[in-house]
A and B are shown apart, each in its own frame.
Chain A
Amino acid sequence: MSIETPAPNAGPFAHERVSISRTMGLVMLALLPATVFSFWQFGWPAIYLFTVTLVTVLLAEAVCLWIAGKPIRPFLLDGSAVLTGWLLAMTLPPWAPWWTGVVGGLIAIVIAKQVFGGIGQNLFNPAMVARVALLISFPLELTSFVNPAPLFAAGSPDWPQGLAITFGGQATDAFSGATLLGHVRTELAQGHVLSEILPGFYTPMTDAVGTLSGSLGEGSALLILFGGLFLLYKRILTWHIPVAMLGTLALAATLMHFVDPEHYTGPLYHLVSGATLLGAFFIATDLVTSPVSLRGQIIFGAGCGLLVYVIRTWTGYPEGVAFAVLLMNACTPLIDHYVRPRVYGRDRKGSPIEYADEIEVSR
């Protein structure tokens, strides 16, 4: 064409009904059932902690945006900060003191997100950065779990008692319990074998339904799975990261269990316990910090799964989802650089395709 302009407004002039806030909103919707279930399981303290964390991230986000001179309204309403706070709260012990939520929220938003340049710029999953920072700085508070004490059940804290637990640091020992992963690790370290440890403490069903102690969002594996499937159905996620992560984890567990069933737990144990499902569907799949190509996502997911298994099995930490995801986050730029889709009309190396038979076509 003879006329060339820099095309000030090129198409398309139609747009799918999508937006960042819609994406974030759907993820929150998917988290809702599991969250509500956890509220019921762990009572008022859990609700308070959750609220404190959300308020903190919102305030932190608003102040950071204001300092950066960015428009506050659209960025605050994109939902990314709330989701970060939500996910962070899900990984905290439900009766943890209020300041864990505040410190965690600040770390997540200020250090892990805004310092990197705000939404889309962060290398690491903000919620997981905050969670790991808290775990290292305050190991006691972050590993004091309680057995479920359903709302309104006899003996569970009513709302003023809840206030005292969350804000007054008056957690009673009455409810304290160990997570399954933590318990099994301790027992194994003491030289017990699995056939002695597991019976009476664990059946896959209790974990799947979520009546074991654990962090807020580790509660019900089934409801988390349900939320994840909803996101797959809504096409917010593709199956690649969750399937690769769960598949690798299950495979590693199966192999080791096969080698030595007395010291290595089986795949189902790993799949339904701890933060496995939350991690596979909601944390590893964080859009910003995971690879953008499907093959890259498979590598990423497999890496997460493998690391989770390694950390749980052979390191000092009973749970490894946060560490695993952060380590793989660090690999994301590399994966994105080397793993790309094949360009149309080119071979994998980037040269134009050549056909051996110039004339013959497939039919």
Chain B
Amino acid sequence: MKLFKIRGGVHPDDRKQLAAGQAIETLPLPALLHIPLQQHIGAPASPAVRRGQRVAKGDLIAQGQGMISAPVHAPTSGRIVGVGSYPAHHASGLSVPTVTLQPDGEDRWSDQIQGVADPFALDPDEIATRVGTAGIVGLGGATFPAAVKLNLRKKYKLHTLVINGAECEPYLTCDDRLMREQTDAVIDGIRIMAHALGVARIVIGIENNKPEAQAAMAIAASAHPNIQIARLPTRYPMGSEKHLVQTLTGRETPARGLTADIGVVVHNPATAFAVHEALRFGYPLVSRVVTVSGGAISRPCNLRVPLGTRVQDLLDYCGGFREEPARLLSGGPMMGQPLPSTRVPMVKGSNGVLALTAAETNLREPMPCIRCGSCVLACPCGLVPLDLAAHTRAGELEGAVSRGLMDCIGCGSCAYVCPAHIPLVQFFNYAKGEMAARGRAKQKQAETKRLIEQRTARIDAIQRAKREAMAARKREADAKKKAAAASLSTDMPTPLPTPASAVETEA
């Protein structure tokens, strides 16, 4: 199919050969699982189990809260040994609400688990509900609840489902392996999602550095004329949703908008696989495929990992470190996050654990910017990174925002090519965080102001009403006096209630 060019981008050394040849292995059950209650974007789930309770595999252990949230299920059968907090799978290493499960070794599915014989006979709403209750989130790393994305059909006119098999981050091979090994299941999941979205056209985008996956998917898709395989040029960040859609359709997603604005919804192959499992067999999302790789890993591999497994358990299974890593990362090297320790648990969004050597990270002391313009050439969003960084450094965050800071997708292409080794993304993250904090403070201020204004208005209204009532009473009294001679009347206007207490509490 015809592809369109995107601007910028870089060609990092993809290092996929380290793990690409390794078939997906199932990680043996660890001694303990630490399952965080928030593994998705949105409101945290609230615990639905008590300490000491026995659970079967797939039992609900935390309930999603509100519109954008996802439930969490038991990755195996066992006993809940703690409902408390545990260090998060996050650079900060802060403790977050976590359920700790001690596997009983039986790995017994709950008997309530039940699949659907023909998902295509289901109503789209019903599919979305099932995807939602299975706790499925975007497994490419975004962890946005998949059901919410399937429901976009209600607000947007959709025509295409794009499957993002670009996997443009170096090292990562989990989607590649899944597409090669579970081809039919992935295609089935994709078709179910397309049915739920009500779109006719499906495009599966796979980068040219995965010829096996391209071939396997092309064969499996040949039975379905509405599925097209797009062979994408190998270029980072091809897997950025908006850039992938531009490559396939030639259209840019409007700024601050969603790809749904131009009729396209993007899902990941791993998400499609999870949807297949949830619909056909009723399995909730309790495990995922993770690439463990990097120059410091003895035996790079692709593992199917129960959620909540500690990073250390994965490393042990892969033979530990070949040498002391300079960096331990979650996700790919371009957009991944440093892991604070190997104790933290694997979550729905973690697609890779990388242990990189110093030679691989090639970290150097930053030098001053030499205005070489490499970052400008590399930025896929048309920004001028050196300018954004200069404004951020000078503390002029508004200046950075007016130059497109909020349009930055944080892909790191600019920092990757910078000959001065300036940590550009670090500047941008700081500025974005600061702007978000300011935004929240402003919102709070505005809210306070609004409440005060409301209160003043209410008090005014009450006083006005009182005055009017008084005036009315006076008028009537006057009128009555005049009419007193004629007749005696008792209908006095009832005085308005003064809900003073209500006003105070509301304000």
Chain A positions near chain B (C-beta within 8 angstroms): 1-20, 22-23, 74-75, 78, 80, 118-121, 238, 287-294, 297, 336, 340-346, 351-355, 358-359, 361-363
Contacts and interface: CB of A to CB of B under 8 A. Distances in A.
Interface stretch (B16-24, B122-130, B175-183, B375-383): B375-383
A361 B254 CA distance: 14
Contacts of B335: 11-12
A interface SS class: loop
Nearest to A340: B384
24 contacts: A2-B96, A3-B88, A10-B423, A11-B333, A11-B336, A13-B329, A13-B338, A14-B362, A20-B367, A20-B420, A22-B419, A74-B367, A120-B368, A288-B371, A297-B373, A341-B382, A343-B381, A344-B407, A352-B256, A355-B254, A359-B263, A361-B251, A362-B249, A363-B2
Contacts of B242: 344-345
Given A12-B334, A13-B329, A352-B255, A292 B373 contact: yes
Contact of A118 (B338, B368, B421): B368
B352 to A, nearest CB: 12
B416 A12 contact: yes
Interface string B461-484: 000000000000000000000000
Contacts of B31: none
A237 to B, nearest CB: 10
Contacts of B160: 361
B485 interface: no
Interface of B: 2, 7, 10, 12-13, 38, 41, 44, 88, 90-92, 94, 96, 157, 159-160, 170, 242-243, 249-257, 262-264, 327, 329, 333-338, 354, 356, 360-365, 367-374, 376-377, 379-384, 386-387, 403-404, 407, 410, 412, 415-421, 423, 425-426, 429-430, 433, 436-437
B10 to A, nearest CB: 7
Given A20-B367, A343-B407, A355-B251, A15 B157 contact: no
B113 to A, nearest CB: 30
B433 A7 contact: yes
Contact of A292 (B257, B386, B418): B386
Contacts of B384: 292-293, 336, 340-341
Contact of B249 (A12, A74, A340, A363): A363
Nearest to A359: B157
B276 to A, nearest CB: 27
Given A341-B7, A355-B251, A288 B262 contact: no
B248 to A, nearest CB: 9
B412 A292 contact: no
A297 B91 CA distance: 40
A71 to B, nearest CB: 9
Nearest to B425: A10
Nearest to B44: A2
The list of the 7 closest CB pairs from A to B, nearest first, reads A12-B412, A292-B373, A345-B255, A352-B254, A341-B382, A7-B429, A14-B333
A20 B249 contact: no
Contacts of A15: 361-364, 415-416, 421
A284 to B, nearest CB: 14
Contacts of B262: 355, 361
Contacts of B333: 11-14
A314 B246 CA distance: 50
Most chain B C-beta atoms within 10 Å of own C-beta, residue among A12, A17, A353, A358: A12
Contacts of B377: 238, 294
Contact of A20 (B157, B370, B386, B433): B370
Contacts of B404: 343, 346
Most chain B C-beta atoms within 10 Å of own C-beta, residue among A3, A288, A351: A3
B472 to A, nearest CB: 54
A28 to B, nearest CB: 15
Contact of B380 (A289, A292, A344, A355): A344
Contacts of B372: 23, 287, 292
Contacts of A297: 373
A255 to B, nearest CB: 31
A340 B7 CA distance: 14
A340 to B, nearest CB: 6
Contacts of B354: 13
Contacts of A354: 254
Given A1-B41, A14-B360, 4 more contacts: A16-B362, A80-B370, A343-B407, A352-B256
Contacts of A2: 38, 44, 96
A343 B383 contact: yes
Nearest to A346: B255
A353 B255 contact: yes
A6 B421 contact: no
Given A13-B361, A341-B7, A288 B159 contact: no
Contacts of A74: 365, 367
Given A15-B361, A17-B362, A362-B251, A343 B382 contact: yes
A292 to B, nearest CB: 4
B226 to A, nearest CB: 14
Contacts of A6: 429-430, 433
Contacts of A353: 252, 254-255
A200 B107 CA distance: 96
A7 B335 CA distance: 12
A46 B58 CA distance: 82
B157 A78 contact: no
Contacts of A340: 382, 384, 403
Contacts of A1: 41
Contacts of A342: 382
Given A2-B44, A352-B257, A10 B429 contact: yes
Contacts of A352: 254-257
Given A345-B255, A353-B254, A353-B255, A14 B12 contact: yes
Nearest to B354: A13
B410 to A, nearest CB: 8
Given A12-B412, A18-B417, A345-B407, A121 B254 contact: no
B480 to A, nearest CB: 66
A14 B334 contact: yes
Contacts of B416: 12, 14-16
Contacts of B426: 7-10
Nearest to B170: A14
B92 A3 contact: yes
Contacts of A343: 255, 381-383, 404, 407
B263 A361 contact: yes
A346 B383 CA distance: 11
B433 A292 contact: no
B12 A16 contact: yes
Contacts of B356: 13-14
Given A2-B44, A353-B255, A12 B415 contact: yes
Contacts of A361: 159-160, 249, 251, 262-264
A287 B254 contact: no
Contacts of B159: 359, 361
Contacts of A12: 12, 333-335, 412, 415-416, 425
Contacts of A17: 362
B425 A11 contact: yes
A118 B417 CA distance: 22
Nearest to A121: B368
B255 A344 contact: yes
Contacts of A363: 2, 249
Nearest to B257: A352
A4 B254 contact: no
